[in-house]
């Protein structure tokens, strides 16, 4: 049986008044292995829920498959020590495994563990489509909407979230995980399974915007990223090169724009 995503564990709360026994809801970290055609490519520590979404999103964002049509069969196998996501690919996709080969057991905060070369870390990204235009109010509202779609975070205060917003519709989907890039992979997988086109909206993320999140968005062909925290300088460079609109520090009614601001309407009437 798969582990629960949240466990209530005892502890001691210590303050000026002394110590008292407490029980806290804490997020679980669960080993998840991804294998393709019988070969394990990665082992990630993740929140043990929405693992089918996670597996497909990982395969898509890492360039192992280009779409669900490349997958001949998928199986989620539960072990006492973790979960295994087994893919069998259609003929002709095996070559991409060597090109994007990974073999690591990495912590949840690490997006580059085990890659083969500096060139792979700085691989060229595909250009994203023009996409839709959002108002400034929709950008700031997306961050607020995502805060209301995080049941695991509400219980634990310790997980990240990734959501997808569409102009005129707001937040349409969200996923959570202890790892920020895991949450985005889960979202990408859920969108692929649901037939939702990333080019028709924006990703909104609770974490800092780092290079691997830009890479995943470019591969998914999502033209806008909205983050509640800061971007790294390298993430800004990658976003500019890939044609991605990057909004950061999205809190309250304000945010900063760092790349391709033309997809965001910033007039006074668009902010309200």
Tell me: the pLDDT tens digits for 121-162?
567 899 999 989 999 999 999 999 999 999 999 999 999 999
CATH number of the domain that 220 lies in? 3.40.140.10
Based on the domain organization, do 157 and 112 belong to the same domain? no
* Rounded Cα–Cα distance for residues 87 and 52 (Å): 11
Whole-angstrom CA distances from 115 to 77, 119, 214, 243 are: 26, 10, 17, 25
Q: Is residue 264 part of a domain?
A: yes
The predicted-structure confidence for 189-216, as pLDDT tens digits, reads as follows 999 999 999 999 999 999 889 989 999 9
* Rounded Cα–Cα distance for residues 185 and 182 (Å): 5
CATH number of the domain that 81 lies in? 3.10.20.10
Dihedral, 30, 60, 179, 133 alpha carbons, nearest 10: -150
Contacts 24+ apart (CB under 8 A), 72-76: 76/51, 76/52
The answer to whether the Cα torsion of 180, 182, 184, 187 is positive or negative is negative
Give bridge partners of residue 163 from the DSSP assignment.
174, 204
Tell me if residue 113 is catalytic: no
Q: Is residue 18 part of a domain?
A: no
Does the structure show a pLDDT above 90 at 68? Answer: yes
Residue of 85, 110, 113, 222 with catalytic role: 110
Given this model, what pLDDT does residue 15 score? Answer: 67
Dihedral, 140, 168, 153, 215 alpha carbons, nearest 10: -80
Does the structure show a pLDDT above 50 at 244? Answer: yes
Instruction: Please give the share of the chain, as a percent, with pLDDT higher than 70.
Output: 87
pLDDT category of residue 223 using cuts at 50, 70 and 90: very high
Phi, psi of 64, deg, nearest 5: -70, -40
Q: Is residue 10 part of a domain?
A: no
Q: What pTM did the predictor assign?
A: 0.90
pLDDT category of residue 75 using cuts at 50, 70 and 90: very high
Q: Which domain holds residue 95?
A: 30-121
The predicted-structure confidence for 246-259, as pLDDT tens digits, reads as follows 999 998 888 999 99
Given this model, what pLDDT does residue 35 score? Answer: 93
pLDDT category of residue 106 using cuts at 50, 70 and 90: very low
């Amino acid at each position: 049986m798969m582990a629960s995503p949240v466990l209530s564990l005892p502890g001691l709360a210590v303050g000026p008044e002394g110590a008292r026994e407490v029980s806290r809801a804490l997020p679980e970290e669960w080993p998840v292995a991804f294998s393709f055609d019988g070969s394990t490519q990665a082992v990630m520590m993740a929140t043990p829920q929405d693992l089918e979404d996670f597996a497909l999103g990982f395969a898509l964002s890492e360039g192992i498959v280009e779409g669900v049509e490349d997958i001949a069969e998928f199986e989620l196998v539960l072990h006492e020590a973790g979960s295994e996501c087994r893919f069998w690919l259609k003929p002709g996709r095996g070559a991409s495994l060597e090109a994007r080969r990974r073999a690591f057991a990495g912590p949840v905060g690490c997006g580059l563990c085990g890659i083969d070369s500096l060139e792979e870390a700085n691989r060229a990204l595909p250009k994203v489509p023009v996409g839709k235009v959002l108002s400034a109010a929709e950008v700031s509202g997306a961050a607020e909407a995502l805060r209301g779609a995080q049941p695991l975070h509400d219980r634990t205060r310790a997980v990240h979230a990734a959501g997808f917003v569409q102009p005129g519709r707001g937040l349409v989907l969200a996923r959570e995980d202890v790892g920020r890039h895991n949450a985005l992979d889960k979202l990408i997988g859920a969108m692929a399974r649901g037939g939702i086109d990333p080019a028709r909206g924006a990703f909104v993320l609770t974490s800092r915007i780092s290079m691997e999140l830009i890479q995943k968005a470019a591969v998914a062909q999502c033209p806008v990223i909205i983050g509640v925290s800061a971007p790294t300088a390298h993430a800004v460079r990658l976003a500019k090169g890939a044609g991605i609109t990057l909004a950061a520090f999205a809190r309250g009614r304000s945010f900063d724009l760092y790349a391709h601001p033309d997809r965001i309407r910033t007039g006074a009437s668009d902010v309200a």
